[in-house]
Amino acid sequence: MLVAVEAAATVGIVGGGPAGMALALALRAKGIGAEIFEARERAAVRRDQRVLALSDGSGQILDWLGVWSHLPKTPIETIHVSQRGGFGRTMLRASEMDMHALGWVVAASDLIAALDDAVTANGIVYREQQAVMATDTAGFSLTAFAEGRVDPGAGSARDYGQHAVLCNVDLAEPHRNIAWERFTGDGPLALLPLGDRYAMVMTCVDDVVDAIKGLDDAAFLAVLQKRFGTRHRFVAATPRVAYPLGLRYRPNPVAARQVWLGNAAQTLHPVAGQGFNLALRDIWELAATLADASDPGAPEVLAAYARGRQADRRGAIGFTDLLILGFGTDFPPLRHVRGAGLLALDLFPPLRGFVARRMIFGARAWP
């Protein structure tokens, strides 16, 4: 149902998923009123099948929002990065950074449920089954778009010609809280510890994704085993779902009394798990910028927010894009260059620490 919005709060948030609910809670913490508008049924929002890798910096933000302690989560103590068919690998360890965990893995449905409960407990208005257009938001000082993806034609785009195939897999032995990022000629393969299982994200080219999804469990596990190698033995898999992959981003995430954040500002490839972590940093920065503003939608206020996010956004977008383009080919000379880069990371702890901090906290090494 399409509705016209009546003024009831300072900020209107279009999108009632995790980014929209987190933004409403962040604004409330800063004393700023907001209403959420979601096109779907509220119960449908909770049925999200994704798994999210949250950095320790994101955990700090979610703790500030009051939901972290209630959230089931599995720590990542080590990240193992390698390429199939080439030398070189690196390992990032929480112990080297005096941290309990480099990050945490959560089911998106659990995170959404925790955020939704906090929205209800804080009395934030959530209007379900109400699709809102930009022209319907004149009653607010500011409209924040925090849902979906970058609108076609609104920014830059790259089609990777890939899908992400997602499922959970059972192992013959414990995962020991190690996350794997394995680059193959068929695309990246990520394994994230989730409870006693791994949450798997397998990248496939568009031409084969239907065939991969259509495999029975035994045949699918054989494909997974071949791509991953022998360091784990996979014994069972849940049903597979798939999502198309691409890069889309708005060079400028603000306009007249409008701001875009999260996937509405930049939709990234899931390699290195930067998407939702970047969204939470967007939310942190926007709430901090609006906290002392007499008019949250004023041009100078939104310009300050855009400047504050520029380095982090560009860094995360460039980093993920470079990983896909640089690791997405089996061209032998490039494979050797990649191996040398992974070896350099493994041999030089300061460089390895810099990469880890950048992934955990963003451009400013702080949430």
Domains defined along the chain, listed by start: 11-155+246-361 (3.50.50.60)
The residues pairing with 76 across neighbouring beta strands, listed in sequence order, are 103
Task: Select from 191, 169, 8 the least CA-distant residue to 82.
Answer: 191
Alpha helix (H) ranges present in the chain? 18-29, 42-45, 56-64, 108-121, 209-214, 217-228, 275-290, 299-327, 332-347, 349-361
CA end-to-end span of the chain: 37
Assign 53 to helix, strand or coil.
Answer: strand
Please give the model's pTM, rounded to 2 decimal places.
0.86
Phi, psi dihedrals of residue 133, rounded to the nearest 5°: -100, 160
Q: What are the start-end ranges of the E strands in 24-111?
A: 34-38, 51-55, 74-76, 78-83, 89-93, 103-107
Sign (positive or negative) of CA dihedral 137, 143, 147, 153: positive
**How confident is the model at residue 44, as a pLDDT?**
94
**How confident is the model at residue 331, as a pLDDT?**
46
**How confident is the model at residue 109, as a pLDDT?**
95
The span from the CA of 33 to the CA of 13, in Å, is: 10
Structure-token pair, residue 99: 């941290």
**How confident is the model at residue 367, as a pLDDT?**
38
Ranges in the chain, pLDDT < 50: 1-8, 87, 331, 333-348, 351-352, 360-361, 363-367
**How confident is the model at residue 325, as a pLDDT?**
62
Structure-token pair, residue 117: 């409960």
Angle between helices 275-290 and 18-29 (to 10 degrees): 30
List Cα–Cα distances, 17 to 5, 33, 107, 238, 340, in angstroms: 19, 18, 14, 24, 41
Burial degree of 153 (CB within 10 A; 0-12, 13-18, 19+): exposed
Helix (H) / strand (E) containing 238: none
Burial degree of 4 (CB within 10 A; 0-12, 13-18, 19+): exposed
The span from the CA of 233 to the CA of 228, in Å, is: 9
The residues pairing with 104 across neighbouring beta strands, listed in sequence order, are 54, 75
Q: Evaluate whether 56 touches 146 at the Cβ level (below 8 Å).
A: no
